[in-house]
Amino acid sequence: MTGVEFPEDFVWGAATAAYQIEGAVREGGRQASIWDTFSATPGKVLGGDTGEVAVDHYHRWREDIGLMADLGLSSYRFSVSWPRVRAGGLGFYDRLVDGLLERGVRPNLTLYHWDLPQELETPSGGAGEGGWPARDTAYAFAEYAGQVAKALGDRVGMWTTLNEPWCAAFLGYASGVHAPGRTDPVAALRAAHHLNLGHGLATAALRAALPADARIGISLNPSAVRPLTGSAADLDAARRIDALANRVFTGPLLHGGYPEDLRADTAALTDWSFVHEGDERTIGAPLDFLGVNYYTPAVVSAADGAAVRADGHGASAHSPWPAADGVSFHQPPGERTAMGWSVDATGLYDLLMRFTREAPGLPLLVTENGAAYEDVPGPSGQVEDLDRIAYLRAHLAEVARARADGAPVEGYYLWSLLDNFEWSYGYSRRFGLYHVDYATQRRTPKASAHWYARLTRSGVLASE
């Protein structure tokens, strides 16, 4: 076999999120999350779908661990449901972690993948603003992190504080296409800061509760922002979006503070007084790894009068880009996934090399990468998803190229293990290696599952 060989200790994984797969939203005393409320609100989720049942992982976790073993995974990245833990539901994760270890699959635990307890979004009595725009939520998150660490820290060695805080802040509080569905750009900027602060406070809580060799990081969804042309106006549009998509997080995480150009761009909206003395120092606590989630690049220009904003983040009359009304997004020509996202693997290489330059020596993990396609089963029930295999092969080739050029990429987590509830798209988009018949919950490996299993066992990315 010819191809690119990955090292023996390279981490081969797959990823999921609690609300997207667990179901059982009222079992074990679990409290309501903002996604329970949002998805039950007419018109918010395509088809009126909810995560009430999802793919029933709460009851089928043993079967699903078997699927992971069949794939030859060395690690599984999952998230813990804060509303479940808040009601004393840690036992489920205790059993899950033990089950993973019994099958030789190392757990990579994410504390927050968007399912904020509804009680924190709407405080009892309706007094004051809740959710991530409220500073108190960051402190509540740190308390929750310490609770989970004390329960599972003896067996879980990899900890991710937040998954894609950009989505939580800007899709949840600016464009409103994600829970809780608010459309206030200032609240979104405050949410971004308090998510950052929550990460810093949670990191401290984890350090206090975990063994010294535990590894703590965060998973961002950085944007590979590209100007449409080399004009000064388009370059400035790219700078503006880069600040809102990337540097609003990497500034305090990696470089000591929020970028001045971001503050200047948004000065008409806020004076940033929600950033308190010492916050940026707390946020910048040393990381053991940085997770990179990547699907597609962003192509931008100065406003060109286009009626449709093609930023790939769902339809809304409200922009997820505060103070960036003068920027247009463009859909590049060529192949697209079922999400409408252009396929361009070079963006992943660009991001990995960017972080290698910005934070020399900081280990990197690709914590999400994958694609949704139509995935129609054939007469035999099999899904021959050759388009997904091509997508994965191209992106893993860019991971290998980045490693060859010095990027310290230690592993790759494919999104996703299973078809599942895809947020505001409901069950209409399939990302999984395993096809799920939502009526019967039957799991069937797609062609990509067999392909990935060969890769995890051989460590060789074949050219064809």
Could you give phi then psi for residue 163, rounded to 5 degrees?
-110, 125
Confirm whether 368 is a catalytic residue: yes
Nearest Cα neighbor of 189 from 215, 209, 166, 214 is 166
Confirm whether 384 is a catalytic residue: no
pLDDT at 315: 85
Q: Please identify which of the residues 121, 368, 398, 422 carries the catalytic annotation.
A: 368
pLDDT at 313: 86
Amino acid, single-letter form, for residue 95: R
pLDDT means over runs of 10, the chain (464 residues): 88 98 96 98 97 98 98 98 96 98 98 98 73 98 98 98 98 98 98 98 98 98 98 98 98 98 98 98 98 97 67 88 95 94 98 98 98 95 96 98 98 98 98 98 98 98 85
Q: Rounded to an integer, what distance in angstroms lies between the CA atom of residue 166 and that of residue 250?
A: 11
pLDDT at 128: 61
Beta bridge partners of 284: none
Q: Please identify which of the residues 121, 164, 280, 398 carries the catalytic annotation.
A: 164
pLDDT at 213: 98
pTM over 0.75: yes
Count CA atoms closer than 13 A to 420's CA, side-chain side: 23
